[in-house]
Amino acid sequence: MTRMTMIEALRSAMDVALNTDPNVIIFGEDVGYFGGVFRCTAGLQAKYGEERLFDTPINESAIVGLAVGMAAQGMKPCVEIQFADYVFPAYDQITQEAARLRHRSNGQFSCPLVVRMPTGGGIFGGQTHSQSPEALFTHVAGLKVVIPSTPHDAKGLLIAAIEDPDPVIFMEPKRIYNGPFYGDHSGKSVPWSDHADSEVPEGHYTVPLGKAAIRRSGADVTVLTYGTMVYVTEAAVKEAGVDAEIIDLRTLLPLDLETIVASVEKTGRCVVVHEATRTSGFGAELMAEVQEACFWHLRSPIQRVTGWDAPYPHAQEWDYFPSSARIARALTSAMED
């Protein structure tokens, strides 16, 4: 075991995968010689060679399209989109090709592909370095969608994603690449080394896809969240003084409904928290699932705290990013019978 940041954990996952399986291949913009704009692939090209890890032209459609062709032959491409905000040129290849290849070919071809992308806000990234487009992927049958929140999970989930036989959208909350973020943007940043979940095994291990993690056990209200908002919710729970159960979904598709339902049946209350815009966001799906499965256990309306239905702003970052205060208010409100 060693202490790792999320960046180091992701790099370690790719190191392990490259070492374990000769079919694993990594490419994207600036990932090769330079090691990635977030350093996630630093040193790996020197270790494994250019044929395993290389730079690409700035063309997201080509990055994923090439990967689909490789994956169909049995290779295991793990490609990077530099920011989730720039995945849209590849949306056709992801949703119409990668997601459907196994189904439409009746299993003749499959697509064991991972598309990594830094996601989320809280870094003054403005409109095109802050988006959280997960709902645009959870709506697509055939994809799996993963968002880790700790270095330990990031490594285990990424290895599991690379080994998974289906295409996985792997979204990395860049706000917590270097340390957890509790929503306090005025204070000093917190390093991962102070956090228990930065203890990461050096070798191979997996965290299973499709399984949520309970980050805080509680009896009063269930919070369904993921990524950076896990930590902001932890801060909010302290502020509100409620005994909340925080569920870090980790995988959005397929969803761990069992863990969610067990928790809401216990607490009778539910708050959904995500950075992404509200309307038709993944929160709507979570609310619908909870309402369908737990209706008779609910003691108050399901609430959601999300980004506003506006493009991600620059100067007004902290009016946009869901704050611990907003989450605390929702928790308090959910506790009113």
Partner 1 sequence: MTDAKLSFPHPPSRPDQAPDFSGIVIPEAGSLPVPPVDITAKDCWPFAVGLIRVLDDDNQAVGPWADYLGDIPAETLQLGLRDMLKMRAIDKRLQNAQRQGKTSFYLQCTGEEAIGCGFQRQLEQGDMNFPTYRQQTLLVAADYPLESLMGQLYSNELDPLQGRQLPIMHSARDYGFFSISGNLGTQYVQAVGWAMACALRGDGKIAAGWIGDGATASNDFHSALLSASVYQPPVVLNVVNNQWAISTYTGVAAGKSETYAARALGYGIPALRVDGNDYLAVLAVSRWAIERARAGYGPTLIEWFTYRAAAHSTSDDPSAYRARNEADAWPLGDPVARLKAHMIARGDWNDARHTQAEAELLDKVSEVQKRVEAHGTFVNPKPISPAEIFRGVYADLPEHLRRQRQEMGY
337 binds partner 1, rule: CB under 8 A: no
101 binds partner 1, rule: CB under 8 A: yes
AA identity, residue 264 = V
Closer residue to partner 1 (CB): 89 or 313: 89
Q: Nearest approach, Cβ of 255 to partner 1 (angstroms)?
A: 7
Q: Which stretch binds partner 1 (CB under 8 A): 13-21, 96-104, 195-203, 304-312?
A: 96-104
Among 198, 216, 308, 193, CA closest to 263: 216
User: Residue 213: which H helix or E strand, with range?
Assistant: strand 213-216
Q: Which two tokens stand for residue 270?
A: 């539910």
67 binds partner 1, rule: CB under 8 A: yes
Q: Nearest approach, Cβ of 55 to partner 1 (angstroms)?
A: 9
185 binds partner 1, rule: CB under 8 A: no
Q: Nearest approach, Cβ of 63 to partner 1 (angstroms)?
A: 9
Beta strand residue intervals within 60-192, DSSP E: 76-80, 114-119, 144-146, 168-173
Q: Nearest approach, Cβ of 70 to partner 1 (angstroms)?
A: 4
For 315, counting Cβ atoms within 10 Å of its Cβ (0-12 exposed, 13-18 middle, 19+ buried), the class is: exposed
Among 233, 242, 300, CA closest to 268: 300
144 binds partner 1, rule: CB under 8 A: yes
Cα separation, 29 vs 154, whole angstroms: 21
Quick check: is 152 catalytic? no
Positions in the binding site for partner 1 (CB under 8 A) = 25, 51, 56-57, 59, 61-62, 65-70, 72-75, 89, 92-93, 96-97, 100-110, 141-142, 144, 165-166, 210, 254-255, 257-258
